[in-house]
Structure 1
């Protein structure tokens, strides 16, 4: 019986998929399996459908999703800029500005403040919430401050806050100090009493 089952399995494996199978007893008393119909005592064998599934289309194979970096777990209740106030006007000849930020709770160990001017980081991030800026161009600018964790990930960030820088032009400087010779240049309207004395550049004495 076992040999009969083995022969059946080997015969089915050798036949094309979904082919019809017939069986009969030959003249020597052996059971024969074939895919060709045989007149007489050949019987048709009912085959059960296979359990193989067709492969999915190439376009349907989803690529593995890239691993996302873990998000910071710590959360600050508040982070904002104290100085300057929103929409403040700053008047500075050298375009200087002191920026101060605050957070609640205070800065966690390993975290750092970083200032952004017009969306660009200014200097290195550090533990101090005070930033000194200089030579800022005249016009409207935007400030924001963010807190970075140990891996350099942004934990919190404020919205952009506008301010306006007003710098004195060279013509304005000279009108304020018409007699100054350093930086501003002396103007013709400088009072005679305040003009510096002219140096005697003659080489020979006058006889």
Structure 2
């Protein structure tokens, strides 16, 4: 009997010990699994495998200052300087400015014509501003202080026509029959005073560019000019 009790006690103690060992072993395995399978230091260490400093360092591999420095390689001032390479003012203007000795104003039936001439003797140079806007439109009126473009060189279609004639013969009221003729393709004028009934009309021209009507590679430029500032020519005898 005593022997049976001892065996029973020993068997019971053995089960308890085994049960503790199993629980501890399970706990240890769970902890070990986390370390082995999820150890971010060994398997997912971003410092060794995805270190952006060594593999994607933009300073060494993509340094825009050394490889794409726009100042040295794409400097628009040296390589694309439009002033030196494409300066249309220097290339297009064979003559600059206009000197007038006499001014003439003709205003009638909605047409305003201002003729500037280089002198009284013929042949003479002339610059002529012709305004037809009021004649072709009853609702249109030229106003003081308003800039108007002079960019249509076609004498048929232009409403504000500006021309220069060189060596014009006697009786030339508008450019066309002069030895050399230029028509404005750019620029604008602003009326500063106007009372056509009283014979008053003054305007300032700025930034005008002319093209030779017979040679488009030849031009004339007038940066600034005041119309109708000179005395009228003496009447013909």
On whether the aligned pair clears a TM of 0.5, the verdict is no
More helix by share: 2
TM-score by structure 2 length?
0.26
**TM-score, length basis structure 1:** 0.28
